[in-house]
Amino acid sequence: MHLSVSDGDGIKGVMPLYLKHHSQGEYVFDHGWAEAYERAGGHYYPKLLCAVPFTPVSGIRLLSHDPQVRTAMLAAVKQICDQNQLSSVHIIFANESQWREMGDLGFLLRKDKQFWWENSAYATFDDFLNALSANRRKVIKRERREVLALLQIKTILGADIKETHMDQIYDFICATYDKKWGAPYLTREFFTQILAKMRDKIVLFFAYDGEEAIAGAINFIGDNVLYGRQWGCLRDVPFLHFELCYYQAIEFAIANGIGRVEAGTQGQHKLSRGYLPHTTYSAHYIRDVGLRNAVANFLEKERDAVENHIVTLRENASPFRQKDPL
């Protein structure tokens, strides 16, 4: 239900917008708000969501260079919510500047964190390892050594990706969902579509036992960023997840001069493998005043907690060597 703003000269701005009857696949969790509102006799669903579906990637959400157009879209989406008696509007993984604009217009502001790896002009993976503490270097070398003693890792990208690879990555993902979460969100057809439309942006890391592919991770090349999305395996192998999702991504970024790897949401275990915490941003409009005030009070405390946690992790749990004082 995308929102657009037009004048006599054409479309001036677009806000991607979806009407949702659940909160699945968002990675910004509002289940507690929904449960509280339902217990109080309200109806949290349907709600409006502005996002890239199933994708916890930060970026522009209000598609216009004109601040007046962006203001008009934010005002319009609140009016749509009110007039249709929807519970709320959620704009997730916004960039910081637009997030602040949303706050100025009365949206409730939320912060969370993700763990990203940043390329400090490393020439090789060993250069990256040398920036870590001795203990972390030792652990990562051991983890990689154990995986590579059992399996062969291959990078598959661009024209080399076939539909059979899409079959395999889908099977890997389904197998992992079966173990942990149930049915996957993405269909097999999705992988055919992305292969047809953005083949040159896809990077696969596959693990082979002889000729048999047993695990894989799918990544996407963005603007100086490698985005790690989903992975799966048919067989549990110690440290294989770290190899395919984190270390292979780092190696690929170094080899191709990519500035950052974003390996998805959550996962504090990424920290010890060189992925440091960064703030992510979402904004929320809630129609019911009582729920709005309760959430606003919660978010004020949560923002402080998130920022304090990021500082604490960077200062006390960073895997990188401490720089010598001047």
**Count H helices, E strands: the chain?**
10, 12
Q: What's the CA gap between 85 and 79, in Å, rounded? A: 10
What's the confidence (pLDDT) of residue 326?
A: 45
**Range scoring the smallest mean pLDDT among 141-145, 226-230, 265-269:** 265-269
What's the confidence (pLDDT) of residue 325?
A: 44
What's the confidence (pLDDT) of residue 282?
A: 98
User: How far from the centroid of its chain's Cα atoms is residue 115's Cα?
Assistant: 10
Q: Which residue is associated with the tokens 């669903």?
A: 45
**Contact (CB, 8 A) for 3 and 81:** no
CATH architecture of the region 3-113+278-316: 3-Layer(aba) Sandwich (3.40)
Structure tokens belonging to residue 303: 């923002």
Quickly name the fold that domain 120-258 has. Aminopeptidase (3.40.630)
Average pLDDT, the chain: 95
**Mean pLDDT, residues 247-273 taken together:** 94
What's the confidence (pLDDT) of residue 204?
A: 98
Whole-angstrom Cα Rg for the chain:
22
Residue-range domain boundaries for the chain: 3-113+278-316, 120-258
**Mean pLDDT, residues 56-83 taken together:** 97
Q: What's the CA gap between 223 and 260, in Å, rounded? A: 10
Phi, psi dihedrals of residue 170, rounded to the nearest 5°: -65, -40
pLDDT in tens, 181-212: 667 888 999 999 999 999 999 999 999 999 99
Kindly tell me if the per-residue pLDDT of 180 is higher than 80: no
3-113+278-316 and 120-258, same CATH topology: yes
Q: Which of 233, 206, 235 is nearest to 218 (CA)?
A: 206
**Percentage, residues of the chain above pLDDT 70:** 98
Q: What's the CA gap between 153 and 111, in Å, rounded? A: 36
Kindly tell me if the per-residue pLDDT of 228 is higher than 90: yes
Count of CA atoms in the C-beta half-sphere (13 A) of 101 = 21
Kindly tell me if the per-residue pLDDT of 121 is higher than 90: yes
